[in-house]
Amino acid sequence: MARALSDDLRVRVLEAGAAGGSARSVAKRFGIGISTAIRWLRRERESGERAARRPGKPRGSKLDGHEAFIVGMIEAQKDITLNEMVARLKDEQSVGIGRSMLSRWLRQHRWTFKKRPHMHWSRSVKIS
Protein backbone atom coordinates (compact mmCIF):
# COMPACT_ATOMS: atom_id res chain seq x y z
CA MET A 1 0.00 0.00 0.00
CA ALA A 2 1.20 3.49 -0.78
CA ARG A 3 2.33 5.76 1.97
CA ALA A 4 0.49 8.98 2.76
CA LEU A 5 2.27 12.11 1.62
CA SER A 6 1.97 15.43 3.42
CA ASP A 7 -0.17 18.33 2.24
CA ASP A 8 2.89 20.57 2.40
CA LEU A 9 4.67 18.34 -0.12
CA ARG A 10 1.59 18.36 -2.35
CA VAL A 11 1.48 22.17 -2.32
CA ARG A 12 5.19 22.41 -3.19
CA VAL A 13 4.79 19.93 -6.05
CA LEU A 14 1.79 21.82 -7.44
CA GLU A 15 3.58 25.16 -7.19
CA ALA A 16 6.64 23.75 -8.98
CA GLY A 17 4.37 22.34 -11.69
CA ALA A 18 2.58 25.67 -12.07
CA ALA A 19 5.96 27.41 -12.40
CA GLY A 20 6.61 25.38 -15.55
CA GLY A 21 8.30 22.21 -14.33
CA SER A 22 7.36 18.94 -16.01
CA ALA A 23 5.76 16.22 -13.93
CA ARG A 24 8.82 13.99 -14.28
CA SER A 25 11.28 16.68 -13.20
CA VAL A 26 9.07 17.73 -10.29
CA ALA A 27 8.74 14.09 -9.18
CA LYS A 28 12.50 13.60 -9.26
CA ARG A 29 13.14 16.89 -7.42
CA PHE A 30 10.75 16.08 -4.55
CA GLY A 31 11.32 12.31 -4.41
CA ILE A 32 7.82 11.16 -5.24
CA GLY A 33 6.51 8.77 -7.86
CA ILE A 34 6.15 10.02 -11.41
CA SER A 35 2.55 8.80 -11.62
CA THR A 36 1.76 10.64 -8.39
CA ALA A 37 3.09 13.92 -9.75
CA ILE A 38 1.25 13.44 -13.04
CA ARG A 39 -2.01 12.68 -11.23
CA TRP A 40 -1.72 15.67 -8.86
CA LEU A 41 -0.84 18.10 -11.65
CA ARG A 42 -3.59 16.80 -13.94
CA ARG A 43 -6.19 17.03 -11.19
CA GLU A 44 -5.25 20.63 -10.44
CA ARG A 45 -5.19 21.56 -14.12
CA GLU A 46 -8.56 19.95 -14.92
CA SER A 47 -10.64 20.68 -11.83
CA GLY A 48 -8.57 23.06 -9.70
CA GLU A 49 -8.57 20.50 -6.88
CA ARG A 50 -5.49 20.76 -4.69
CA ALA A 51 -6.50 18.84 -1.56
CA ALA A 52 -5.99 15.13 -1.04
CA ARG A 53 -8.96 12.90 -1.49
CA ARG A 54 -10.16 10.43 1.10
CA PRO A 55 -8.20 7.18 0.76
CA GLY A 56 -9.85 3.88 0.01
CA LYS A 57 -12.96 2.88 -1.82
CA PRO A 58 -15.94 5.21 -1.91
CA ARG A 59 -18.52 4.36 0.69
CA GLY A 60 -21.92 3.15 -0.29
CA SER A 61 -23.72 0.02 -1.28
CA LYS A 62 -25.65 -1.04 -4.33
CA LEU A 63 -28.55 -1.67 -1.95
CA ASP A 64 -28.83 2.00 -0.95
CA GLY A 65 -30.89 2.74 -4.05
CA HIS A 66 -33.30 -0.09 -3.23
CA GLU A 67 -33.96 0.83 0.40
CA ALA A 68 -37.68 1.53 -0.15
CA PHE A 69 -38.16 -1.86 -1.81
CA ILE A 70 -36.36 -3.68 1.03
CA VAL A 71 -38.35 -1.85 3.71
CA GLY A 72 -41.55 -2.65 1.80
CA MET A 73 -40.66 -6.35 1.77
CA ILE A 74 -40.05 -6.34 5.51
CA GLU A 75 -43.25 -4.42 6.28
CA ALA A 76 -45.34 -6.72 4.07
CA GLN A 77 -43.99 -9.91 5.62
CA LYS A 78 -42.42 -9.50 9.04
CA ASP A 79 -40.88 -12.97 9.14
CA ILE A 80 -39.27 -12.89 5.67
CA THR A 81 -35.96 -14.71 5.49
CA LEU A 82 -32.74 -13.40 4.03
CA ASN A 83 -32.88 -16.05 1.29
CA GLU A 84 -36.36 -14.90 0.27
CA MET A 85 -35.24 -11.27 0.25
CA VAL A 86 -32.19 -12.07 -1.90
CA ALA A 87 -34.38 -14.00 -4.36
CA ARG A 88 -36.94 -11.19 -4.62
CA LEU A 89 -34.22 -8.58 -5.08
CA LYS A 90 -32.77 -10.63 -7.91
CA ASP A 91 -36.13 -11.35 -9.58
CA GLU A 92 -37.87 -8.00 -9.15
CA GLN A 93 -35.01 -5.47 -8.97
CA SER A 94 -32.22 -7.29 -10.89
CA VAL A 95 -29.83 -6.89 -7.95
CA GLY A 96 -27.52 -9.87 -7.55
CA ILE A 97 -26.17 -9.96 -3.99
CA GLY A 98 -25.36 -12.53 -1.33
CA ARG A 99 -27.05 -13.19 1.99
CA SER A 100 -24.11 -11.87 3.99
CA MET A 101 -24.13 -8.54 2.13
CA LEU A 102 -27.86 -8.13 2.75
CA SER A 103 -27.43 -9.07 6.40
CA ARG A 104 -24.63 -6.55 6.87
CA TRP A 105 -26.65 -3.83 5.10
CA LEU A 106 -29.67 -4.52 7.31
CA ARG A 107 -27.55 -4.37 10.48
CA GLN A 108 -26.01 -1.07 9.36
CA HIS A 109 -29.52 0.33 8.95
CA ARG A 110 -30.60 -0.97 12.38
CA TRP A 111 -32.91 -3.71 11.07
CA THR A 112 -32.76 -6.72 13.36
CA PHE A 113 -35.14 -9.55 14.00
CA LYS A 114 -35.28 -11.83 16.99
CA LYS A 115 -36.73 -15.22 16.21
CA ARG A 116 -38.14 -15.67 19.69
CA PRO A 117 -39.55 -13.07 22.04
CA HIS A 118 -37.45 -12.15 25.03
CA MET A 119 -38.12 -14.56 27.89
CA HIS A 120 -37.54 -13.64 31.48
CA TRP A 121 -35.18 -15.79 33.45
CA SER A 122 -36.87 -17.81 36.11
CA ARG A 123 -35.90 -17.11 39.68
CA SER A 124 -33.39 -19.37 41.23
CA VAL A 125 -35.38 -21.51 43.55
CA LYS A 126 -34.03 -24.34 45.59
CA ILE A 127 -35.27 -27.61 44.15
CA SER A 128 -35.70 -30.36 46.75
pLDDT tens-place string over residues 28-70: 999 999 999 999 999 999 999 999 888 887 778 889 999 999 9
Domain range annotation of the chain: 7-47, 64-108
CA-based max dimension of the chain: 94
Report pLDDT for 122.
61
Say which range, 99-103, 104-108, 109-113, has the weakest mean pLDDT: 109-113
The Cα–Cα gap between 59 and 54 comes to: 10
Quote the DSSP letter at residue 61.
Answer: -
Q: Is the pLDDT higher at 126 or at 97? A: 97
CA angle 23/28/30 to nearest 5° reads 95
The Cα–Cα gap between 85 and 95 comes to: 11
